Structure 1
Amino acid sequence: MTLAKTANQSTVTVSGHEIEMHKGGSGPPLLFLHGGGGFGTFDPTSSPLADKFTVYAPSHPGFFGSARPDWLYTINDLSHFYKDMVQQLGLDDYVLVGHSVGGWIAAEMAAMDHHNIKGLVLIDAAGVRPVNGEITEVFMVSGDTRLKLAFHDPAQVPNYDSLSADPGPEGATVMHGNMEMLSRLCWRPYLHNPSLTKYLDGVKTPALVVWGKQDAIIPVECGEIYAKLLPNATLKSIDNCGHNPQMEKPEEFNAAMAAFLGEL
């Protein structure tokens, strides 16, 4: 799901391509990169993050009905796009947060150049391949199946009905387009970059790795890999929680974020 239309919505043109940007809060800058399913029921621009930070939450190019740049084929390409956006917006000494595929983008950005990233937060991030488990197939299954995989216990998710409701023809078209763009970026190799693990030890930025312990899409083993390879990382695994801790366990998620961000 994209964020609701708000007074803080604008468009930003980066590398000749226009994207939707939501902005909220006040304080130093924080960039939040959404996962393949969008923001869901979690709006970072009105969350507790916005109490201490100016939160920037863009929609990825090619998602939610936006034009698909012909040159954008990989997560690495998208990471360069966002590095250009950060420079264009003048974000400096900023906190970089990413969920799922957005976490993969964030990890790639930090590996490219972390000098102006004050803190890095990866939430159930794609990007690395587990050694023992596997990343679940999400492209060749129904939307209902993907939704079931996304949460350990839907009863814990505030406003879950808004996620499971019939999106209607227009919404279904948008969701199909999102998955098409996601598969374009992540299909081969599947939801990871084999080279990323070779670069993470150079990221000296303080990092928090947050993971739902029962994530049925990207296993917590991947969080352990990130936490091991990032030199200054802490792993916070949340029990009885799936792929979206910011939605399924908001109190524990917000507490972990507040503790980490308060020490930067």
Structure 2
Amino acid sequence: MDYIIKEEDGFKYIEEGNGEVLLLLHGLMGALSNWEHVIEQFKGRYTVVIPMLPIYDLPLLTTGVKTLSKYVHRFVKFKGYQKVTVLGNSLGGHVGLIYTLAHQDFVKALVLTGSSGLYENAFGGSFPKRESYDFIKEKVEYTFYNPETATKELVDDVFETVNNRNKVIRILAMAKSAIRHNMAKDLSKIKVPVALIWGKNDKITPPEVAVEFEELLPDAELHWIDQCGHAPMMEQPEQFNSLLEAFLQKKGL
């Protein structure tokens, strides 16, 4: 992925294209490249923006999903965006939910894929063998339906991250924050339209999580992608983009 990372006023982000804003939020182990296929598909008609969430830069005492949500709001205000469509994967979905709940005037719609917020088999729960490359490789492969999606580059990145003491401490703190901050009682207050695009074979946030999201959110629609794990926009990008396109068109976004 060869995009310019802009740095302004303490924010780092990718911004491609013109039009209505699609704000993409990456997960705990996610990289900006996770959204590459979405950028390519939609930058011709939308402004596609990915802020780099400061997961590793926060003071340990404030490392949590609420702090990331506040960061997103500061970024949206800094950019002067009026109304955005938020897309979030994994932890990014959780941050998107908290942000939407607090700032519904700024959000047109929300798209969740493999989102935490209710229940997850947290990748970041512990790393008993983080020095073992094979162990980390197995963990990354577990994220996907097809283990070949876990490229060597992806495994290398995760291995380097979890063997950095500063980063792993914050990953564990963020994962615990996500588990503590269960959204079940708050979802009924989210009135914007929500698309749930979910891998049928997601083992991190399994299918019953998506079903519960659909039941608790007032205006939600659930779409399944078969032979797909926790990151549909990476593993089945064509199907993901097709479902996203249909949702955006239907909602006039």
**TM-score (normalizing by structure 1):** 0.82
Kept in 1: contact 2:38–2:241 (CA 8 A): no
Distance 2:72 2:193 in 1: 20
Q: Alignment partner for residue 147 of structure 2, among 147, 154, 169? A: 154
Structure-2 change in CA distance of 1:174 and 1:182 (3 Å): closer
1:31 alignment partner AA:
L
Superposition deviation, residue 221 in structure 1:
1.2
Superposition deviation, residue 263 in structure 1:
1.8
The equivalent residue for 1:172 is: 160
Kept in 1: contact 2:201–2:226 (CA 8 A): yes
Structure-2 change in CA distance of 1:81 and 1:26 (3 Å): same
Paired residues in the alignment total: 242
Matches within 5 A, 1:158-237: 160-164=151-155, 166-167=156-157, 172-173=160-161, 176=164, 177-188=166-177, 191=179, 193-194=181-182, 196-237=183-224
After superposition, what is the alpha-carbon deviation per residue over 1:69-101, rounded to whole angstroms, capped at 9, x for unaligned?
456322112111211221121111210111000
The equivalent residue for 2:131 is: none
Kept in 2: contact 1:62–1:69 (CA 8 A): no
2:5 alignment partner AA:
Q
SS at match of 1:191: helix
What percent of counterpart residues are identical? 26
Structure-2 change in CA distance of 1:44 and 1:181 (3 Å): farther
After superposition, what is the alpha-carbon deviation per residue over 1:141-199, rounded to whole angstroms, capped at 9, x for unaligned?
442132111101134x4x834324x459xx715774544322212215x63523x2211
SS at match of 2:121: coil
Kept in 1: contact 2:14–2:50 (CA 8 A): yes
Task: Identify which range, 211-220 or 34-43, moves more after superposition.
Answer: 34-43
Say if 2:48 is the partner of 1:61. Answer: no
Distance 2:52 2:163 in 1: 13
Kept in 2: contact 1:45–1:57 (CA 8 A): no
Kept in 2: contact 1:37–1:178 (CA 8 A): no
Superposition deviation, residue 5 in structure 1:
5.6
Q: Alignment partner for residue 10 of structure 1, among 3, 6, 18? A: 6
Structure-2 change in CA distance of 1:27 and 1:128 (3 Å): same
Superposition deviation, residue 57 in structure 1:
0.3
Gaps of 5+ in 2: 128-134
Say if 2:20 is the partner of 1:28. Answer: yes
SS at match of 2:139: helix
Q: Alignment partner for residue 143 of structure 1, among 136, 141, 144? A: 136
SS at match of 2:195: strand
Gaps of 5+ in 1: none
Structure-2 change in CA distance of 1:183 and 1:19 (3 Å): farther
Superposition deviation, residue 259 in structure 1:
0.3
SS at match of 1:128: coil
Distance 1:222 1:160 in 2: 27
Superposition deviation, residue 226 in structure 1:
1.3
**TM-score (normalizing by structure 2):** 0.85
1:38 alignment partner AA:
G
Q: Alignment partner for residue 69 of structure 2, among 44, 56, 79? A: 79
SS at match of 1:197: coil
Task: Identify which range, 96-105 or 135-144, moves more after superposition.
Answer: 135-144
